[in-house]
């Protein structure tokens, strides 16, 4: 399988595929382990799972969405998409990326459903319209909701990618004429992993898939079925602008002085304080950027009830971290030297202590010279010399 320099996979047909250097491959596994919040020692395990277990078949269905999630995945660069798709997972069906079209593509789907039943991972992108018998999404003369209900029972696991699939997203925003619903609500009773985001970070998706391939189970999920490794913390917790929030430095209008200086965007409606996601840790597009880093408030896309529901510039309901009641100075006073009054008082006290010590010592010397203890120095006071 693994040769000295090059690293190749056998597809199901046994043909060697395009190459990926061993170094690149291990690097990728390390990135995945890091995204999952696992120690570096996990990287070889992930690598072994991919090497030995063969590629995980993936069926990707698109519904009511903008295909932004796919676009986001296309822009993952370590590894690049084609390496990912051909070497790490086996993407069997994807309406945007299919090589074939029409009847040919649908035949590929049918074949996968027969061959890999109970073995493949279903990824659903986009919300599912159910109004008017689901007529608003039709694929191959079949309503989207019916397609989902046909494919999902045969899948090993279902992943809802993007906000639309996770909780409805834009299509479900009021008045929701198409009756758009999340994948989870259609497949009630089946565990669905939600990877919300508009679009979600591709590494959150990849990490979930590879976790599944490595350990044979789903990662730990939160109450909204989101993997905790990615959605366990508020954006606010790891935000690079957080010190400005704590210090009370806010941008108040786009382009104002504070905005130019990179102050906190909370007052511009940033939803970071109520949105759970790892955007500030695993950033986007491999250029270390997130909406907040380029100066736009977070709009809460991963959070049902926040993104596309709350007005963009409405301030967030702060959870967990309330702003302090008092703010520190921008420049802390550096302290002063001695004031004459303080120095005088200190000097008097110090001198007094030394004087008292001297007087007492003298008295004791005298007493000792006379006779041990015979003298009786009238004592009192300063037991606390020095």
Partner 1 sequence: MQKGAIYSHEPSPGPLWNKAFAAALLVASTGALAILLRVFFGLGFSTNLNDGHPWGLWITWDVLVGTGLGCGGFGLALLVYALDKREFSFLMRPAILTGALGYSFAGFSVILDLGRYGNVYHLFMPSHWQFNSVLFEVALCIMAYTLILWIELVPAMLERRLILGYRIRPNILVRWLYRLLFVVLALGMLLPIMHQSSLGSLLIIAGHKVHPLWQSILFPAYFLISAILMGYGAVVIECYLASSLHGTPFEVRTLGRLSGIAAWLSLLYLFVRLEDLTFRGLWAEALKGWPGMLFVVENALYVAPVWIVANKERRNNAGWQFVAAILFIAASALYRFNAYWFAYNAHVPWRYFPSFLEILVVIGLIGMEVVLYLAAIHFFPILPVSRPVLASSEK
Q: Among 197, 335, 313, which Cα is nearest to 251's? A: 313
Q: Does 373 bind partner 1 (CB under 8 A)?
A: yes
Least separation in angstroms between residue 328's CB and partner 1 is 8
Between 188 and 384, name the residue whose CB sits nearer to partner 1: 384
Residue 208's CB is within 10 A of a number of other CB atoms, namely 29
- Other C-beta atoms within 10 Å of 92: how many? 21
Q: Does 359 bind partner 1 (CB under 8 A)?
A: no
C-alpha to C-alpha distance for 122 and 257, rounded to whole angstroms = 48
Chain positions 283 to 342 lying near partner 1, rule: CB under 8 A, are: 332-339, 341-342
Residue with Cβ nearer partner 1 (173 or 345): 345
Token output for 242: 């957080």
CB 19, CB 213: distance < 8 Å: no
Q: What are phi and psi of 28, to 5 degrees?
A: -60, -45
Q: Which helix (H) or strand (E) holds 158?
A: strand 157-161
Q: Which is nearer to partner 1, 135 or 345 (CB)?
A: 345
CB of 342 to partner 1, least distance (A): 4
- Shortest approach of partner 1 to residue 233 CB, angstroms? 21
In the bound state with partner 1, the residue whose beta carbon lies nearer, of 99 and 325, is 325
Q: Which of 71, 343, 351, 355 binds partner 1 (CB under 8 A)?
A: 343
Residues in the chain: 386
* Shortest distance in whole angstroms from residue 248 CB to partner 1: 16
Let me know: does 229 contact 282? Beta carbons within 8 Å.
no
Interface with partner 1 (CB under 8 A), residue from 16, 100, 351, 377:
377
- The tokens describing 122, both together, are 């279903």
Q: How far is the CB of 321 from partner 1 (least distance, A)?
A: 19
Q: Which CB sits closer to partner 1, 77 or 362?
A: 362
141 touching partner 1, by CB under 8 A: no
C-alpha separations of 62 from 83, 147, 157, 164 in Å: 22, 10, 16, 11
Of 217 and 376, the one with the shorter C-beta distance to partner 1 is 376
The stretch among 70-78, 102-110, 204-212, 360-368 that binds partner 1 (CB under 8 A) is: 360-368
**Chain centroid to CA 204: how far?**
8
According to CB under 8 A, which one of 16, 309, 357, 359 is a site residue for partner 1?
Answer: 357
Q: Which of residues 41-60 bind partner 1 (CB under 8 A)?
A: none
| 364 makes contact with partner 1 (CB under 8 A) | yes
Coil, strand or helix at 231 = helix
Are 382 and 353 spatial neighbours (Cβ–Cβ below 8 Å)?
A: yes
Nearer to partner 1, 217 or 378 (CB): 378
Residue 153 to residue 182: CA distance in whole angstroms: 16
Q: Which stretch binds partner 1 (CB under 8 A): 49-57, 84-92, 120-128, 353-361?
A: 353-361
In the bound state with partner 1, the residue whose beta carbon lies nearer, of 189 and 337, is 337
Q: List the x/- string, 75-94, binding to partner 1 by CB under 8 A.
A: --------------------
Nearest to 42 by CA among 282, 287, 219: 219
CB of 238 to partner 1, least distance (A): 22
Q: How far apart are the first and last CA of the chain?
A: 80
Longest dimension (CA), the chain: 122
Between 40 and 359, name the residue whose CB sits nearer to partner 1.
Answer: 359
- Return the residue of 18, 107, 131, 349 that touches partner 1, per CB under 8 A: 349
Neighbouring residues of 87: CB distance < 8 A, sequence distance ≥ 6: 8, 9, 17, 18, 20, 55, 79
Tell me, by CB under 8 A, how many residues bind partner 1: 37
In the DSSP assignment, the letter for residue 353 is: H
Q: Considering beta carbons, is residue 253 or 338 the nearer one to partner 1?
A: 338
The binding site for partner 1 (CB under 8 A) comprises: 332-339, 341-343, 345-346, 349, 357, 360-362, 364-368, 372-374, 376-386
């Amino acid at each position: 399988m693994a040769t000295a320099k090059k690293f190749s996979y056998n597809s199901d047909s046994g043909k060697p595929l395009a190459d990926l250097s061993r170094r690149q491959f291990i690097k990728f596994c390390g990135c995945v382990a890091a995204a999952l919040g696992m120690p570096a020692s996990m990287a070889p395990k992930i690598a072994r799972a991919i090497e030995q277990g063969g590629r995980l078949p993936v069926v990707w269905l698109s519904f009511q969405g903008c295909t932004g999630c796919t676009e986001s995945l296309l822009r993952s660069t370590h590894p690049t998409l084609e390496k990912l798709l051909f070497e790490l997972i086996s993407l069997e069906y994807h309406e945007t990326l299919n090589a074939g079209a029409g009847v040919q593509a649908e035949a590929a789907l049918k074949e996968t459903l027969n061959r890999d039943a109970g073995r493949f991972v279903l990824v659903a992108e986009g919300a599912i319209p159910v109004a008017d018998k689901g007529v608003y999404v039709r694929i191959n003369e079949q309503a989207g909701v019916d397609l989902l209900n046909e494919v999902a029972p045969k899948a090993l696991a279902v992943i809802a990618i993007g906000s639309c699939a996770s909780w409805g997203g834009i299509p479900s925003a009021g008045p929701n004429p198409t009756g758009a619903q999340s994948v989870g609500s259609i497949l009630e009773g089946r565990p669905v992993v939600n990877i919300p985001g508009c679009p979600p970070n591709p590494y959150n998706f990849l990490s979930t898939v590879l976790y599944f391939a490595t350990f044979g189970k789903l990662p730990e999920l939160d109450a909204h079925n989101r993997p905790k490794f990615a959605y366990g913390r508020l954006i606010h917790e790891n935000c690079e602008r957080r010190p400005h929030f704590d210090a009370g430095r806010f941008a108040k209008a786009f382009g104002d002085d504070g905005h130019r200086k990179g102050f906190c965007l909370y007052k511009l409606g940033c939803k970071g304080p109520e949105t759970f996601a790892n955007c500030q840790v695993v950033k986007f597009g491999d250029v270390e950027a997130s909406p907040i880093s380029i100066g736009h408030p977070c709009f809460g896309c991963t959070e049902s009830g926040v993104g596309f529901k709350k007005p963009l510039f409405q301030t967030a309901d702060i959870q967990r971290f309330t702003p302090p009641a008092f703010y520190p100075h921008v420049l802390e006073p550096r302290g002063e030297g001695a004031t004459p009054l303080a120095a005088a008082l200190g000097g008097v006290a110090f001198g007094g202590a030394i004087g008292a010590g001297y007087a007492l010592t003298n008295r004791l010397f005298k007493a000792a010279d006379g006779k041990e203890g015979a003298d009786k120095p009238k004592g009192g006071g300063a037991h606390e010399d020095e």
